[in-house]
């Protein structure tokens, strides 16, 4: 059902990341099955999918935490597939993992410093501390507090802030909405959008929460069992019947006119 090209761009933007035929395994289990996608510079691209679809594995493979078995990951004019994570960070790709993973015993300030470990420009790092505090004022208030004592939403803000401290060109965000209240999700996604627009950070956003992700994204892919099964402009995906039924819980009508939840179907 992947009618359109797996290629966002009808847009003219140049791709900052180009993934070609990627395959990744956990032992004998093939988690990513020939994924190809493009992330155009300056855009927010989302990858949607249910639990276990392979979204996290895709991000881990891009950031070098996992080695792919096959395929290419083109970034900055070279194929970075299989490179060590620290080289990938130095090249400008930062991965904000699922579940935040802040350093709980370190303070907010120390966590932010850790994000800048690859940098050698103390003045720029100091400026970026202030930039992060500007976007997340609550972190400035709590700068001397241990990260483990922050709320879930504040830890998510810190994880994003720590990622920003590497001054990334491309940020990989894994389920930033996970476990947060709708109000906090809205707040965090508004900031993600602002960071994209104001700081020029290209975003690849993996989400199960399709609605918030498609509202903030420019382009979207849908992943199922390790494969991409749909690709389209985010606004068109929001309107797509399949996406509405599958991910947005939009109700259909029975012949008798009674409301019911439509049967789950797969695209393959």
Contact positions vs ligand ATP (CB under 6 A): 26, 29, 31, 49, 51-57, 98, 208
| Min separation Cβ 48 and ligand ATP, Å | 9
| Min separation Cβ 56 and ligand ATP, Å | 3
CB-nearer residue toward ligand ATP: 56 or 111: 56
Burial of 144 (0-12, 13-18, 19+ CB in 10 A): exposed
CB-nearer residue toward ligand ATP: 47 or 139: 47
Determine the residue with CB nearest ligand ATP.
56
CB-nearer residue toward ligand ATP: 48 or 139: 48
- C-alpha span between 240 and 246 (Å, rounded): 10
| Min separation Cβ 202 and ligand ATP, Å | 20
CB-nearer residue toward ligand ATP: 53 or 94: 53
28: left (phi over 0), alpha (psi -120 to 50) or beta: alpha
| Min separation Cβ 229 and ligand ATP, Å | 13
| Min separation Cβ 80 and ligand ATP, Å | 19
Cα 77 to the chain's mean position, in Å? 22
- C-alpha span between 45 and 216 (Å, rounded): 9
SS3 readout for 48-112:
EECCCCCHHHHHHHHHCCCCCCEEEEEECCEECCCCCHHHHHHCCEEEECCCCCCCCCCEHHHHH
The DSSP code for 146 is B
CB 193 within 8 A of CB 43: no
CB-nearer residue toward ligand ATP: 124 or 152: 152
CB-nearer residue toward ligand ATP: 32 or 131: 32
| Min separation Cβ 219 and ligand ATP, Å | 18
Where do we find the tokens 């930062």?
94
């Amino acid at each position: 059902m992947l009618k359109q090209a797996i290629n966002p761009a009808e847009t003219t933007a140049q791709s900052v990341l180009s993934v070609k035929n990627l395959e990744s395994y956990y032992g004998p289990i093939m988690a990513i099955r020939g994924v190809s996608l493009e992330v155009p510079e300056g855009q927010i691209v989302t990858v949607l999918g249910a639990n276990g679809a392979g979204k996290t594995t895709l991000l881990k493979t891009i950031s070098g935490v996992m080695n792919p078995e096959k395929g290419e990951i083109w970034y900055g004019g070279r194929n970075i597939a299989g490179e060590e994570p620290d080289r990938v960070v130095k090249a400008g790709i930062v991965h904000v993992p699922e579940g935040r993973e802040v350093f709980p015993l370190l303070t907010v300030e120390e966590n932010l410093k850790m994000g800048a470990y690859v940098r050698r420009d103390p003045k720029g790092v100091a400026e970026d501390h202030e930039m992060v505090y500007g976007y997340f004022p609550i972190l400035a208030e709590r700068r001397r507090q241990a990260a483990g004592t922050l709320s879930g939403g504040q830890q998510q803000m810190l994880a994003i802030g720590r990622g920003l401290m590497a001054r990334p060109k491309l940020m990989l965000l894994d389920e930033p909405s996970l476990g947060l209240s709708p109000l906090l999700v809205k707040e965090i996604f508004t900031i993600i959008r602002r960071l994209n627009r104001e700081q020029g950070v290209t975003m690849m956003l993996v989400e199960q929460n399709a609605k918030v992700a498609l509202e903030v994204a420019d382009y979207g892919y849908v992943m199922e069992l390790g494969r991409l099964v749909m690709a389209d402009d985010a606004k068109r995906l929001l309107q797509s019947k399949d996406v509405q039924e599958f991910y947005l819980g939009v109700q259909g009508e029975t012949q008798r006119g009674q409301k019911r939840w439509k049967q789950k179907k797969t695209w393959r």
